[in-house]
Structures are given as structure tokens and as C-alpha cells.
A = this chain, B = another copy of it.
């Protein structure tokens, strides 16, 4: 059914996705530094995206939402706290509940990062047609639901 020699359409899906992530990430970082922000990574943006202002959750909960281990999330959260973007205070019965929340600076950073990501998607929609991008989102969401 499929040819064996078309380099692009025959490449493994995983390779295509990896390339997409890499290109998208690069562009994200460029625009972020254009906006005068250097110290944030896409992963950090992902963390911020899972936090809502007025919401305080545990690191473990964040890890669940982002679908990574709590150790991985812990490192990201620690760094973001160090940059003053998140606050952390122990809840009642400490190790069982901690309250991670956005600081005002964190909310600002979150808005900036998510805005850039949204811009990138809009531009992708301009290039490919917004239906194609919407289809991409839909398929990826269905493929690996939370």
C-alpha cells in the first residue's frame, strides 16, 4: 500500500513527531528570548499551563496532569520556585499535601508562554489550514488521552 521510498510520507510517524516537536520547540525558545525572557524551557511552560491562578495543588498532582514522574516534576517545580514563578507552602500534614501556586510573576510568565504557543499554532494554521491543525490536536488528544 505504501511506497518504500518517499522520504517524508514514509518516515516513521515517531520521527515526524520528533521533528515537529524539535522545530516547534526551537521557534518557541527564539520568540521567548525575543520577548526578553531567557530562563524558561518548554517543559516549564507545560508546568505553568497546568496551573491556574487561584489554584494550589501538589507536585504529585502536577506530575499526574503532565504525565511524568513526580521526581521529574519536582525538579521543574524546584527550578520555577527558584525563579520566583511558583510558590510552595506545606499543607496540613506536610508530606501528604503541598500547595504549589503561581506567583504574580508566574502568572505573567504563564500568559507570555501560552500566548507564544498559541501564536505558533495560529501561524501553523495559516500555513496548513486551520482545520488541519485542529485535526492534529484532536487526533493527538484522542490518541493519548489524559
Contact = CB atoms under 8 A, between A and B. Distances in A.
Interface in A1-58: 7-9, 11-25, 28, 42, 45-46, 49-50
A52 to B, nearest CB: 8
Interface residues of A, number: 49
A26 to B, nearest CB: 11
Nearest to A141: B8
A15 B127 contact: no
Copies in the complex: 2
A52 B64 CA distance: 41
Given A8-B145, A142-B128, A143-B20, A46 B15 contact: yes
A117 to B, nearest CB: 4
Interface in A55-91: 65-67
Contact of A132 (B46, B132, B139): B139
User: Nearest 6 A-B pairs (CB), nearest first?
Assistant: A16-B140, A12-B117, A8-B141, A132-B139, A17-B21, A15-B46
Interface of A: 7-9, 11-25, 28, 42, 45-46, 49-50, 65-67, 114, 117-118, 120-121, 124, 127-128, 132-133, 135-146
